[in-house]
Amino acid sequence: MGLLERRKIKELQEQSFPQREQEIAEICGQAIRYEVDWDSFADDLEALNFVDNLSCHRLNMALRVICLDDMGKEAVREGLTLVKLRNVKSKADMAMRFEGGVLEMACAYALRTEGMHGDNEIRQLLLSRL
């Protein structure tokens, strides 16, 4: 892992992810922690540059729709406890699941929008299990 990757990881850890967790708290009334498989990003600066927009922003957009009312906010607070993110190299390796309160997203972040799960897809998965 090079200097640029280490700098970007530090920025994400100290600025981007805490801000996104705070946004979730504002949306549903409770912060939900991100757990990132940093090793999967170690050699992929392009992926690091897009993880915030392609996962965090998309999740927050999905949550805004779900949390339009108190019932939605309560369902998210009770049902979603952790978000796990992992970088994969190809679209074929992408996956998303929501079990036991944990939303796991494996995205091919370096492929930009071709390698993401859209906010509608995220929302539908969450709604089906909340």
Bridge partner residues of 84 (DSSP): 35, 104
- Residue listed under structure tokens 């369902």: 75
- How many domains in the chain? 1
pLDDT in tens, 18-56: 999 999 999 999 999 999 999 999 889 999 999 999 999
> What angle is formed at CA 106 by the lines to CA 47 and CA 114, rounded to 5 degrees?
60
- The residues, any chain, with a CB within 8 Å of residue 42's CB and separated by 6 or more, are 1, 5
Q: What is the pTM of this model?
A: 0.95
Instruction: Quote the domain boundaries for residue 96.
Output: 3-129
pLDDT in tens, 92-121: 999 999 999 999 999 999 999 999 999 999
